[in-house]
């Protein structure tokens, strides 16, 4: 793999340092425990505190530093080619509810930022979904009609601000982009100022759905709460069996400086070329930061380094005046009917709620989650409550559900039938990793730059699929449900909550054989 361009760090993480919050060590009682400190968890906790509830926000690492810290931060109701599909699956009423709820989330963030005086680089711009192929024009026109019927200010256009021609695009007015960490860290500060509790480095590992509910952390602390919200991106508890209805995917991001007068003036996305998304952000005097996303893939599948190289090459070809400065990656989960799950966790749940399946549009959906879940917990109901209800199941989901489960089964069984990913530990080059069979047991082995090999169990601690190595991000990833682990086995991203167990190497006591 050649040297990848840019610093491997999210621009949002680099430019918004947040205060540290303590870990939870004692027993705690609150009205509501919110598990997960991303945009959905933060917005929910903030709304609940404003509604007069005592709230604890529990984050396994740092707030707004997981998936939320690595987004492209489009705050939009324009979610690609979705409204024609929604009209077919949920009817015209369902499509309008989706459009209205998403657009209201955009307006809501602008109002809250003004109310709290948050300087989060918020800009109102049009959103575009475009195609370069003339074969896609009819589909784009149909999408423009469906989006307009759903209540958005949508139109079909052939001119955009991109520096290359397009065959057509759906333009939606009144969308937004912002700095997500600047906005969310301000919400956290206001939450704490109103008496809410925030605990970082507090990984929740178990849930008892009694009355009251009881949560236990990795460190053994107990949280007692009347209501619990699971906002951990991919739910860390499997009792709702949502893992059978969620498909994880990753997308890569490169960011580059461009002259301010070359700003394309909008937010753009195409499904062509395995997705390309383009937007800019303020970046010093007379410059903008061009943020390009694409190369969608399932965690643990494919050569990630090569994907970064393709994305960087596309950026430099289409924007020859750009200079790449950063790169990072984002992960999200898509539901089998393309609408997020926000509401009661499962059919029998009385006091446990979930927010997941944002499909790459976490900014607007995270805001919606806070409003929807707060309404449910305080005894209210929004017009789109049933649309997002996790307990729904539409006939149109069946084929997608079978596809998701077929992919999981392929990895769960197929990866075990492979003799090995490499022949021996000695074959692993410095800076790379592979799954190696030693004495009948599979080890996930990473060799660091100094040449020292580190081995952990190759079985994901979620449901037992075999992990694969991500060569560009140097992480172990589960191709079944998207759990990610550091090279030492520690959890980077759920649904797994337990680390990969260390494994001695051949020649060491208790080795992999």
User: How many other C-beta atoms can be found within 10 angstroms of the C-beta atom of residue 64?
Assistant: 25
In whole angstroms, how far apart are CA 420 and each of 435, 437, 505?
A: 7, 6, 16
pLDDT value at residue 2: 56
Torsion sign over Cα 185, 189, 194, 195? positive
Positive or negative: CA dihedral 46, 50, 51, 54: positive
Residue 372: both structure tokens together: 């929807």
User: What separation in angstroms does the CA of 464 have from each of 176, 308, 460, 479, 499?
Assistant: 41, 29, 5, 11, 12
Q: What is the DSSP letter of 474?
A: T
Whether the Cβ atoms of residue 259 and residue 321 lie closer than 8 Å to each other: yes
In the block, tokens 């109103």 appear at 194
**In the prediction, which pLDDT does 387 show?**
97
Within 13 Å of residue 33, how many CA atoms lie on the same side as its CB? 31
pTM passes above 0.85: yes
Answer whether 89's CB lies under 8 Å from 393's CB.
no
Cα(first)–Cα(last) distance of the chain, in Å? 31
CA distances from 363 to 26, 100, 103, 277 (A): 33, 15, 11, 15
Is the Cβ–Cβ distance between 33 and 230 less than 8 Å? no
d(CA 377, CA 229): 10
pLDDT value of residue 153: 98
Dist CA 294 CA 72 (whole Å): 11
Note the Cα 173 to chain centre separation in Å.
25
Phi-psi sector, 397: left (phi>0), alpha (psi -120 to 50), beta: alpha
Query: Peptide bond before 506: cis, by omega within 30 degrees of 0?
Result: no
Rounded Cα distance between 65 and 193, Å, is 21
Considering Cα of 339, then 345, then 346, then 349, what sign does the dihedral take?
negative
Domains by residue range for the chain, with CATH:
7-71+181-244+338-396 (3.50.50.60), 397-513 (2.102.10.10)
Angle at alpha carbon of residue 30, lines to 350 and 190, rounded to 5°: 110
Measuring CA to CA, which residue among 82, 201, 50 is closest to residue 149?
82
> What tokens does 400 get?
């997608």
At 142, list the tokens: 């149909």
Q: What is the pLDDT of residue 131?
A: 98
Given a contact cutoff of 8 angstroms between Cβ atoms, the answer to whether 470 and 486 are in contact is no
pLDDT the model gives residue 397: 56
**Sequential pLDDT tens for the chain (513 residues):** 456 778 899 999 999 999 999 999 999 999 999 999 999 999 999 999 999 999 999 999 999 999 999 999 999 999 999 999 999 999 999 999 999 999 999 999 999 999 999 999 999 999 999 999 999 999 999 999 999 999 999 999 999 999 999 999 999 999 999 999 999 999 999 999 999 999 999 999 999 999 999 999 999 999 999 999 999 999 988 766 777 789 999 999 999 999 999 999 999 999 999 999 999 999 988 999 999 999 998 888 778 889 999 999 999 999 999 999 999 999 999 999 999 999 999 999 999 999 999 999 999 999 999 999 999 999 999 999 999 999 987 665 555 545 545 554 444 444 444 545 667 888 888 888 888 877 667 889 889 888 888 888 989 998 888 999 988 888 999 988 889 999 999 998 888 889 999 988 765 544 454
DSSP letter, residue 308: H
- Token pair, residue 296, equals 């969608």
Burial class for 156, CB neighbours closer than 10 Å (0-12, 13-18, 19+):
middle
Residue 508 backbone dihedrals phi, psi, to 5 degrees: -95, 160
Contact predicate 493/233, CB 8 Å: yes
Q: Judge contact between 72 and 277, C-beta under 8 A.
A: yes
């Amino acid at each position: 793999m050649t040297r990848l361009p840019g610093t491997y760090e999210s621009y949002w993480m680099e430019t918004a340092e947040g205060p540290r919050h303590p870990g939870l060590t004692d027993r705690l009682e609150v009205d509501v425990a919110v598990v997960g400190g991303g945009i959905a968890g933060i917005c929910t906790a903030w709304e609940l505190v404003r509604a007069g509830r005592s709230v604890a926000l529990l984050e396994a690492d740092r707030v707004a530093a997981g998936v939320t810290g690595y987004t492209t931060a489009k705050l939009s109701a324009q979610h690609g080619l979705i409204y024609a599909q929604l009209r077919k699956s949920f009817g015209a009423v369902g499509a309008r509810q989706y459009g209205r709820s998403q657009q209201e989330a955009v307006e809501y963030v602008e109002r809250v930022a003004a109310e709290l005086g948050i300087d989060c680089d918020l800009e109102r711009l049009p959103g575009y979904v475009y195609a370069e192929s003339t074969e896609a024009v009819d589909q784009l026109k149909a999408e423009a009609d469906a989006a307009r019927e759903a209540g958005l200010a949508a139109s079909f256009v052939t001119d955009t601000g991109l520096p290359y021609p397009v065959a057509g695009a759906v333009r939606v007015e009144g969308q937004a982009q912002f700095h997500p960490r600047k906005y969310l860290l301000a919400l956290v500060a206001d939450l704490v100022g109103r008496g809410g509790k925030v605990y970082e480095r507090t990984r929740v590992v178990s849930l008892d759905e009694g009355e009251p509910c009881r949560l236990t952390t990795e460190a053994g602390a107990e949280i007692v709460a009347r209501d619990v919200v699971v906002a951990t991106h991919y739910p860390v508890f499997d009792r709702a069996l949502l893992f059978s209805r969620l498909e994880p995917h990753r997308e890569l991001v490169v960011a580059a400086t461009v002259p301010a007068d070359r700003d394309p003036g909008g937010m753009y996305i195409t499904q062509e070329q395995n997705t390309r998304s383009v937007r800019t952000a303020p970046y010093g005097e007379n410059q903008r930061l061009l943020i390009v996303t694409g190369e969608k893939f399932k965690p643990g599948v494919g050569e990630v380094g090569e994907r970064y190289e393709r994305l960087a090459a596309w950026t430099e070809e289409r924007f020859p005046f750009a200079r790449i400065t950063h790169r990072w990656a984002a992960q999200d989960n898509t539901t089998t009917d393309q609408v997020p799950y926000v509401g009661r966790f499962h059919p029998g749940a009385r006091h446990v709620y979930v927010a997941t399946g944002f499909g790459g549009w976490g900014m607007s959906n995270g805001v919606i989650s806070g409003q929807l879940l707060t309404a449910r917990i305080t005894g209210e109901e929004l017009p789109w409550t049933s649309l997002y209800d996790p307990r729904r199941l539409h006939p149109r989901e069946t084929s997608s559900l079978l596809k998701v489960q077929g992919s999981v089964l392929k990895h769960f069984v197929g990866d075990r039938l492979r003799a090995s990913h490499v022949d021996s530990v000695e074959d692993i080059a410095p800076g790379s990793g592979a799954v190696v069979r030693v004495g009948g047991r599979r080890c996930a082995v990473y060799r660091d730059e100094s040449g020292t090999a580190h081995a952990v169990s190759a079985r994901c601690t979620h449901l037992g699929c075999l992990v694969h190595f991500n060569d560009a991000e140097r992480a172990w990833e589960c191709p079944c449900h998207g759990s990610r682990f550091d090279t030492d086995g520690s959890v980077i991203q759920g649904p797994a909550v337990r680390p990969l167990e260390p494994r001695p190497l051949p020649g060491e006591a208790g080795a992999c054989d």
